[in-house]
Amino acid sequence: MGDIANRPYFLSIMAGGPTQITPPLISRTTGIPTIFMVAPILDDQNAPLGLVGAGISLKYIQQIAEELKAGQTGYGFIVAEDGTYISHPDANLVMQKKITQHEAPSKKTLGRHMVSSESGIYRYSQENEKMVAFYQPIPITGWSVASVLPEKELFAPVIQMMRLLTIITLFFAILISIAILLAMQRLMKPLQVLTQRTQEIAAGHLEGVDLEVGSQDEIGSLSRSFNIMTGNLKKTLSVLKKSEDNYRGIFENSLVGILQVSIKGRVINANPAMARILGYDSAQTLIHSDQEIGRELYVNPEDRQRIFTLLGETGSIQNQEVQFYRVDHSIIWVSIAASLIRDDQGEPLQVEAIVIDISDRKAADEDLRHLRNYLSGIINSMPSALAGVDRKGRVTQWNTKAEKVTGLSMEQAQSKPLGNVFPHLADEIERIYAAIRAAGPDH
């Protein structure tokens, strides 16, 4: 068994390097040119303990490369990541020369393309004959494979050649993948089971059985700790699920609209009540409506700007009354209470709002205002002085004639005792008060 302690790949793995494929090396065990596929063996702290690897003889690779021949006089060759010839019909080049150092400029240019992991077609002249090279990288290995043939022979075998290149490329990819997979499965099976269970939990599948603890080593200790963690996680998620269900019930069944809006004005989430307020069939229809809040929802866009300014200054608002457009473009009055949500860096993220349709109340207020104006007009048009009082005899109503008789405006007479504004009725005041008290609390 050869000593590999000073091999670059061994030093790389022990320094924390990843799974890798070496350039061609002379095996210290067999003395045969060989490439090695190596992967680290890690302890529970992810520190390298050693490596596992497999070697592939270059003779085997060279036999495969011979199949790259296309046409009557074409040939194939393979170069390593650094440009070293791994396989070539000229045995003097194999493991001895690099294509990037070839004497011919055209060959050197081809080499630069190949070691750059490019794929394509390169045309050049060789001894007054036009040649075409098809080259393609081999995944994972860092190698590049090429098939060269005279241009005049190109069209006859081109389909077979491209298929062969693809097959060889896939072969190397599959061969190397299988070798690494088999090696890692033998050594890492317990960790693979742990990883699989972790992925299941990450996907939300907590119903799986606990990991089997089959040893007392670090892997066994890790499995036990993982089982404990999974149990605690199940309990925590159960509590969170109940909280979520409670919140969802409140959200879905609330009689007031609940709305989440992005800073740019897009609806993120909404409850059924919010959809009804805006005239949508469902919350999902509202969410997917692409409605832009600032431009399409507010009747007066400056209201949105004012609300966002207040949110930026105070973080929350209450009882902001604005007008919204419903989906049918009818106008409604709403009252908004909202909070500005920020991210971990303090940047504005979204707005969460409670919206109440106050259109009926606004309509009732408007009707009451008209009624009051109407009654005030009637009262003020009466030819005699009229004063309304509350149960304590204080003035609540005062018409124009009363202002002329007393010389007092409504503002001056408001809330004053009746006897103070009509002193000449002093003899009648007690009788008036007695009538008010006799009328009872509902009059």
Summarize pLDDT for 33-80 with one digit per residue, the tens. 777 778 888 888 888 888 888 777 767 666 776 776 666 788 888 888
Task: Specify the CATH number for the domain of residue 106.
Answer: 3.30.450.20
Q: Compare 256 and 175 and report the one with higher pLDDT.
A: 256
Last residue of a domain, one of 221, 253, 285: 253
Same structural domain for residues 89 and 111?
yes
Same structural domain for residues 322 and 414?
no
Last residue of a domain, one of 303, 331, 362: 362
Q: Which residues pair with 261 in a beta bridge?
A: 267, 351
Across the chain, what does the average pLDDT equal?
Answer: 79
pLDDT at 323: 93
pLDDT at 190: 63
Residue 89: pLDDT over 90: no
> What share of residues in the chain are helix, strand, coil (percent, to 5)?
45, 25, 30
Sheet containing strand 331-342, edge to edge, reads: 267-270, 257-262, 348-357, 331-342, 316-325
Q: Compare 429 and 301 and report the one with higher pLDDT.
A: 301
Least confident of 70-84, 187-201, 266-280: 187-201
Same structural domain for residues 105 and 88?
yes
Same structural domain for residues 215 and 259?
no
pLDDT at 294: 54
Summarize pLDDT for 313-342 with one digit per residue, the tens. 999 999 999 999 998 999 999 999 999 999
Same structural domain for residues 318 and 227?
no
Summarize pLDDT for 4-46 with one digit per residue, the tens. 778 887 888 888 888 877 777 777 777 667 777 788 888 888 8
Same structural domain for residues 349 and 264?
yes
Same structural domain for residues 134 and 225?
no
Residue 198, both tokens: 């972790």
Instruction: Look at residue 6 and tell me if it is in a domain.
Output: no
pLDDT at 91: 82
Distance of CA 86 to the CA centre of its chain: 46
Q: How many other C-beta atoms lie within 10 A of the C-beta of residue 171? A: 12
Number of H helices, E strands in the chain: 13, 16
Instruction: Look at residue 376 and tell me if it is in a domain.
Output: no
Instruction: Look at residue 211 and tell me if it is in a domain.
Output: yes
Q: Which residues pair with 137 in a beta bridge?
A: 144
Summarize pLDDT for 218-263 with one digit per residue, the tens. 666 766 776 777 777 767 766 666 666 666 667 788 888 998 988 8
Task: Flag whether the pTM goes above 0.85.
Answer: no
Same structural domain for residues 160 and 210?
no
| pLDDT mean over 139-156 | 80
* Sequence-distant (≥ 6) Cβ neighbours of residue 274 within 8 angstroms: 257, 258, 259, 283, 286, 355
Same structural domain for residues 293 and 321?
yes
Same structural domain for residues 227 and 286?
no
pLDDT at 215: 63
Instruction: Look at residue 201 and tell me if it is in a domain.
Output: no
Instruction: Look at residue 263 and tell me if it is in a domain.
Output: yes
Assign 331 to helix, strand or coil.
Answer: strand
Q: For residues 100 and 109, what is the distance between their CA atoms, to the nearest angstrom?
A: 7
- In the chain, how many domains are there? 4
CA torsion through residues 194, 195, 198, 204, sign: negative
Same structural domain for residues 158 and 216?
no
What count of Cα atoms within 13 Å lies in the side-chain half-sphere of residue 11? 4
Q: Residue 381: which pLDDT band, with cuts at 50, 70 and 90?
A: confident
Residue-range definition of the domain harbouring residue 420 = 382-438
What count of Cα atoms within 13 Å lies in the side-chain half-sphere of residue 149? 19
pLDDT at 292: 64
Last residue of a domain, one of 253, 276, 291: 253
Instruction: Look at residue 367 and tell me if it is in a domain.
Output: no
Same structural domain for residues 349 and 413?
no
